[in-house]
């Protein structure tokens, strides 16, 4: 409604006026041809000729400068002004809206009726008019502001000061000041201005309390924020008013601040001033509320805010949110979840109690009606109780229905019975017996128990278990002409709950539902015989047939093929009646059930069976029939199709011999292939060793007592294909399909640029600000318009080449682009392109908001969890693994050369390998150039031989920098002291609160023998394992200041054996404690006899670790 009225009032004001007016107290220092200064009362923000003649009414009089401008207004004009004043009041009310959620305004002059700021000079004794408070009015834009104006261009030594009132910063860490102003062009005062300038100074002074008088105005009392010029433009008598807007910010630490404006001879109107600070607004995420949080003192600082759970919620991990310098939240960790009995509202982020008749347990996401045969009458219920007569198993989910015990089996029937066996079957209990209705699902864990009267211990049951879930039973070894009574009992998981003594009342808590009797019930149920449980059952009675004395003997298989079999047997020795026929039956061996048996009748003592399945073992039986009935079956004879017996035994032996010969031939062929491959690889390995020794010589003192051991780790057999970040080309992630090409091999550096970099038109690039400087020129932040339509743009970093640079500097500058253009990996800085066809020459890369890693860590000291630091380290290792796979050696890996973007992704940068080290204190000059000794491997310092292994050493130092939040390696030691200490075995101590596993990884990277250091691929794997097993990070390395001395000295105190764990800890190999436990190595004698093969079998594959363990084991052997 308010907005609607405002729009109407603004429309009304536009119908009344089309011009811009100003207070009659506005001034302009006008200089005539005789250099005499007069003060004219005409609008300051318009020129002298901008007032139209018809503004004086209907006469022909022109408006001329004079002290009372209202004298040239007609009566109609006065009425019009009254009309405007009414409209201005309404419009001003419309514009006084609250500040946005991410800004807290401390001062806004556009909302003040009067300012009355402190000025100097001021008063009758002032030598210059100085700052004057006036009104700035624009009816079209709905503006009526109190402002300050100064225009003392006709005076010498102008020094006009204007102070804001004391501004209490409150919780702010950084204040922003937004100034709207205009500046006149000095061309308006040709030859007559004595001190015309087109800038003014903005300063500030922090103070712990507001005083009656502002602090001294001397220059050294204030800190200069900026010297401000007109960015939008300066106006003259032929132009409209150009309002400039400038926003500056300062870090504040005291109670409040004064802002000061200093004029030294410009014609300025300070129209509006707004002072505010930025906050990350109060939000509710993951059912945790985070209060409004002011941003940090620096734009790059991240403020950590702890959240509180909303009502009826509880934390599953402490909720934290990071507030960035631009007032936006990032990286939410942890959160809360609604308690059981309360339903989460993901839109409003609240927890609502479940109404009566519904419940919510930890197993379901929202309130649901009570499952069948259960109910609850209370709200916020975590469980629905079963109604009387129904039960729920303690291990069932709370959303499961309640059930009755099953009823008796149905349709119990005798399928077959003879003299010694019987088969009975039945159907499952009726569904309606479960109380769930015919269409409802019921418990499927029904099992059956058999009780048989007259069954002695010789009777066998199939299935033979006490309980089973099949609906058929076979009884064998029965007695002839005997009546048996068989009961089939049905039971399920809740049958034992029918006894009230076995099912205690449930107890509930607000956050968890528990059964107080679960363990005792389960234990008692395990010891409870089902005979003691009252269950429903079905009963059947049957009588076995009388015994027949005619029994078949000597059944045998004469021949069998893939489809047929020939059987023969002898007549019964005894028979109580003439034999009428023989019944032959057969069945596959696993199917002993009579329901699956096939039979034929014959009057002869032989039979031919057809239609058998191939490669199947069959069982065969025969019985005879007399007038008194069938006799018992003969013993089962088994035979398999495609496996003839007796008469073809010799053929079977021949087949086996042929098969054995084939297997032996294949075995010897495999042995030959393996031997050949091993020989060829050994030969290739020797060639690599020779090349390595030729290109990477090491002095003898770098080798251990056992000699120099070089280990080569084979790459993966197959290289996974991944999609690159910046293109649609797929390349192997760790393959060798691409190799790094040194741009120095090109005679013409421009050819390398054309091959590896993309030329960008300079018209598509906009430079916004200078963010740093380098050896070749400035580093800027800018915007790059991107194809295909070049409408959208992205943030980029722009490196420029200084004008007038030498041709060598230009080649070196473009060489870095040629190197960078060959890489495409998420953890390597990405080259957008270059500009070489216009000046200045530029390299365009992706923009990394948080700058270098070392500075970012120092600014955010202690604000990250260990797992977040591991993610950063994993990114660095992944990028270096990619570079290593491309055969590229960085040579200057350090935290200062790793950049961090807004998502905290780390990327390798700085590929200018031929450049001089910028900080001479971190460099050591050798015959070949400067080396950053604090990050460089000892063999690279001594012999300038750089390899991926030397990069691994540098990575260990980067790991130390990250865990110490940007601390300088080796502190203030000199370079010579660093080199000597490393040669003597000194290694950096563990940073404070550093996990033992990460410090052990540092020590692995700092192995003196470069071949003993891990590869970057194995470092990535190690960090992945640590991230997946955060419990391994709980062991903290407690390292005093001198713990780093001689960490690789293995001769001191390690030959004292107390236990395996302590011995491994003494030699810094405690990571393998579990390996030794699994191998059952518990005594010094066992460890002293270890071999390299045993260590490999135990999973200890790093050669450096094997040598270290074996060396210390031999020391144990000496002691023993």
Among all chains, which residue has been given the structure tokens 């990460």? 998
Non-local (6+) Cβ contacts of 804 within 8 A are none
SS3 state of residue 714: coil
Q: Residue 744 is inside which H or E element, if any? A: none
- How many other C-beta atoms lie within 10 A of the C-beta of residue 712? 13
DSSP category for residue 322: E
SS3 state of residue 1095: helix
Q: Residue 284: which of 347, 353, 338, 367 has the closest Cα? A: 347
What does the DSSP assignment read for 607-669? EEE--PPTT-EEEEEEEEEETTEE-PPPPPEEEETT---GGGHHHHHHHHHHHHHHHHHHHHH
Whole-number Å distance between alpha carbons of 414 and 478: 15
Do 44 and 268 contact (CB within 8 A), yes or no? no
**Residue 1027 CA, distance from chain mean position:** 10
Whole-number Å distance between alpha carbons of 191 and 746: 60
Non-local (6+) Cβ contacts of 476 within 8 A are 420, 421, 459, 460, 462
Whole-number Å distance between alpha carbons of 30 and 475: 126
Pairing of strands 223-229, 368-369: unpaired
CA angle centred on 65, ends 63 and 69, rounded to 5°: 70
Whether 717 is a known active-site residue: answer: no
Whole-number Å distance between alpha carbons of 1072 and 1109: 10
Do 1063 and 1087 contact (CB within 8 A), yes or no? yes
Exposed, middle or buried, 42 (CB in 10 Å: 0-12/13-18/19+)? buried
Q: Which residues sit opposite 30 in a β-bridge? A: 38
Whole-number Å distance between alpha carbons of 766 and 844: 11
* Active-site entry in 892, 910, 922, 1004: 892
Edge-first strand order for the sheet with 483-491 is 467-468, 447-453, 483-491, 536-543
**Residue 742 CA, distance from chain mean position:** 35
CA angle centred on 933, ends 741 and 889, rounded to 5°: 15
Do 753 and 817 contact (CB within 8 A), yes or no? yes
What does the DSSP assignment read for 902-960? TT--EEE----TTSPPS-GGG-EEETTEEE-GGGS-HHHHHH----HHHHHHHHHHHHH
Q: Residue 1084: which of 1054, 1104, 1105, 1108 has the closest Cα? A: 1054
| Total residue length of the chain | 1120
- How many other C-beta atoms lie within 10 A of the C-beta of residue 56? 17
Q: Is the peptide bond before 585 cis (omega within 30 degrees of 0)?
A: no
Q: What is the 3-state secondary structure (H, E, C) of 342-406?
A: EEEECCCCEEEECCCCEECCCCCCCCEECCCCEECCCCCCCCCEECCCCECCCCCCCCCCCECCC
- What is the Rg, in whole angstroms, of the alpha carbon atoms belonging to the chain? 47
Do 900 and 850 contact (CB within 8 A), yes or no? yes
Annotated ligand binding at 723? The verdict is no
3-state DSSP percent of the chain in helix, strand and coil, to 5 = 25, 30, 45
Binding residues for ATP: 799
Q: Which residues make up each annotated binding site?
A: 799
Q: Which residues are catalytic?
A: 892
């Amino acid at each position: 409604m308010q907005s609607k009225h405002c729009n109407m009032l603004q429309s009304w004001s536009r119908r009344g006026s089309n011009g811009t007016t100003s207070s009659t107290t506005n001034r302009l220092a006008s200089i005539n041809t005789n250099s005499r200064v007069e003060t004219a009362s005409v609008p300051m923000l318009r020129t002298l000729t901008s007032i139209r003649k018809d503004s004086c009414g209907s006469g022909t009089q022109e408006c001329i400068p004079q002290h009372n401008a209202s004298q040239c207004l007609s009566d109609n004009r006065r009425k019009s002004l009254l009309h405007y004043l009414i409209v201005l009041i309404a419009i001003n009310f419309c514009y006084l809206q609250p500040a946005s959620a991410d800004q807290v305004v401390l001062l806004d002059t556009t909302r003040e009726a009067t300012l009355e700021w402190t000025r100097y000079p001021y008063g009758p004794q002032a030598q210059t008019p100085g700052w004057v408070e006036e009104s700035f009015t624009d009816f079209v834009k709905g503006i009526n502001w109190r402002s300050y104006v100064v225009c003392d261009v006709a005076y010498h030594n102008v020094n006009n000061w204007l102070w804001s009132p004391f501004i209490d910063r409150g919780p702010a860490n950084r204040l922003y000041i937004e100034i709207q102003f205009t500046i006149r062009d000095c061309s308006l005062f040709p030859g007559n201005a004595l001190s015309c300038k087109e800038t003014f100074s903005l300063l500030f002074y922090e103070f712990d309390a507001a005083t009656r008088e502002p602090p001294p105005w001397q220059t050294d009392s204030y800190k200069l924020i900026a010297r401000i010029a007109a960015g939008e433009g300066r106006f003259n008598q032929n132009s409209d008013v150009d309002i400039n807007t400038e926003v500056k910010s300062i870090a504040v630490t005291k109670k409040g601040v004064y802002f000061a404006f200093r004029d030294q001879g410009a014609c300025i109107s300070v129209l509006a001033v707004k002072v505010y600070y930025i906050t990350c607004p109060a939000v509710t995420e993951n059912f945790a509320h985070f209060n409004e949080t002011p941003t940090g003192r620096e734009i790059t600082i991240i403020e950590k805010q702890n959240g509180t759970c909303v009502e009826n919620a509880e934390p599953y991990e402490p909720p934290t949110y990071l507030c960035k310098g631009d007032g936006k939240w990032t990286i939410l960790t942890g959160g809360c979840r609604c308690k059981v009995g309360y339903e989460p509202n993901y839109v409003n982020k609240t927890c609502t109690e479940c109404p009566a008749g519904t419940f919510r347990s930890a197993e379901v996401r929202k309130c649901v009606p009570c499952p069948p045969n259960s109910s609850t009458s209370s709200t916020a219920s975590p469980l629905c109780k079963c109604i009387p007569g129904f039960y729920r198993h303690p291990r069932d989910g709370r959303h499961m229905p309640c059930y009755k015990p099953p009823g008796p089996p149905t349709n119990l029937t005798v399928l077959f019975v003879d003299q010694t066996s019987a088969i009975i079957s039945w159907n499952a209990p009726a569904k309606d017996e479960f109380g769930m209705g015919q269409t409802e699902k019921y418990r499927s864990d029904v099992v059956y128990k058999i009780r048989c009267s007259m069954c002695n211990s010789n009777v066998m049951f199939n299935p033979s278990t006490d309980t089973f879930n099949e609906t058929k039973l076979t009884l064998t070894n029965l007695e002839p002409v005997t009546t048996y009574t068989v009961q089939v009992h049905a039971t399920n998981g809740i049958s034992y709950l029918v006894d009230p003594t076995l099912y205690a009342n449930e107890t509930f808590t607000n956050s968890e539902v528990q059964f107080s009797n679960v363990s005792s019930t389960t234990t008692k149920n395990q010891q409870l015989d089902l005979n003691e449980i009252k269950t429903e059952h079905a009963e059947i009675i049957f009588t076995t047939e009388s015994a027949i004395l005619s029994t078949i003997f000597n059944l045998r298989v004469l021949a069998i093929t893939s489809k047929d079999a020939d059987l023969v047997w002898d007549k019964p020795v005894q028979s109580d009646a003439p034999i009428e026929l023989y019944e032959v039956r057969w069945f596959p061996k696993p199917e002993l059930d009579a329901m699956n048996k096939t039979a034929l009748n014959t009057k002869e003592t032989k039979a031919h069976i057809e239609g058998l399945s191939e490669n199947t073992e069959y069982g065969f039986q025969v019985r005879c029939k007399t007038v008194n009935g069938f006799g018992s079956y003969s013993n089962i004879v088994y035979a398999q199709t495609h496996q003839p017996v007796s008469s073809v035994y010799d053929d079977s032996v021949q087949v086996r011999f042929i098969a054995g010969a084939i297997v032996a031939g294949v075995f010897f062929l495999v042995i030959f292939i393996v031997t050949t491959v091993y020989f060829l690889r050994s030969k290739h390995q020797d060639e690599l060793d020779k090349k390595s020794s030729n290109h990477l010589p090491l002095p003898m003192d770098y080798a251990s007592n056992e000699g120099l051991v070089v280990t080569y780790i084979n790459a993966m057999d197959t290289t996974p294909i991944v999609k690159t970040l910046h293109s649609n080309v797929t390349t192997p992630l760790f393959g060798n399909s691409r190799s790094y090409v040194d741009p120095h091999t090109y005679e013409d550096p421009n050819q390398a640029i054309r091959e590896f970099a993309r030329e960008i038109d300079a018209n598509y690039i906009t430079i916004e600000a200078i963010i740093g400087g380098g050896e070749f020129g400035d580093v800027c932040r800018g915007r790059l318009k991107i194809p295909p339509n070049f409408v959208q743009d992205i943030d980029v970093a722009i490196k420029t080449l200084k004008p007038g640079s030498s041709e060598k500097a230009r080649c070196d500058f473009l060489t870095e682009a040629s190197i960078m253009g060959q890489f495409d990996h998420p953890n390597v800085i990405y080259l957008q392109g270059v500009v070489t066809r216009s000046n200045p020459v530029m390299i365009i890369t992706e923009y990394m908001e948080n700058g270098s890693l070392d500075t970012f860590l120092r600014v955010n000291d202690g604000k990250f969890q260990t797992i977040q630091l591991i993610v950063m380290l994993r990114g660095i290792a992944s990028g270096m693994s990619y570079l290593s796979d491309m055969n590229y050696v960085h040579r200057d890996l350090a935290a200062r050369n790793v950049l961090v973007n807004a998502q905290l992704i780390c990327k390798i940068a700085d590929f200018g390998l031929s450049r001089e080290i910028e900080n001479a204190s971190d460099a050591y000059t050798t015959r070949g150039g400067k080396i950053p000794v604090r990050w460089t491997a000892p063999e690279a310092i001594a012999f300038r031989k750089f390899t991926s292994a030397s990069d691994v050493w540098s990575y260990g130092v980067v790991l130390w920098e990250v865990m110490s939040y940007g601390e300088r390696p080796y502190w203030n030691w000199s370079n010579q002291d660093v080199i000597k200490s490393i040669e003597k075995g000194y290694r950096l101590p563990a940073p404070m609160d550093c996990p033992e596993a990460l410090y052990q990884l540092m020590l692995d990277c700092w192995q003196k023998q470069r071949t003993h250091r891990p590869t970057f691929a194995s470092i990535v794997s190690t960090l992945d394992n640590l991230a997946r097993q955060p419990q391994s990070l709980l062991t903290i390395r407690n390292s005093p200041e001198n713990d780093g001395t001689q960490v690789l000295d293995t001769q001191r105190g390690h030959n004292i054996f107390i236990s395996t764990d302590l011995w491994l800890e003494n030699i810094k190999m405690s990571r393998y404690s579990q390996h030794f436990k699994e191998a059952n190595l518990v005594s010094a004698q066992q460890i002293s006899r270890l071999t390299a093969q045993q260590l490999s079998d135990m999973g200890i594959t790093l050669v450096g670790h094997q040598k270290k363990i074996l060396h210390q084991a031999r020391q144990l052997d000496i002691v023993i």
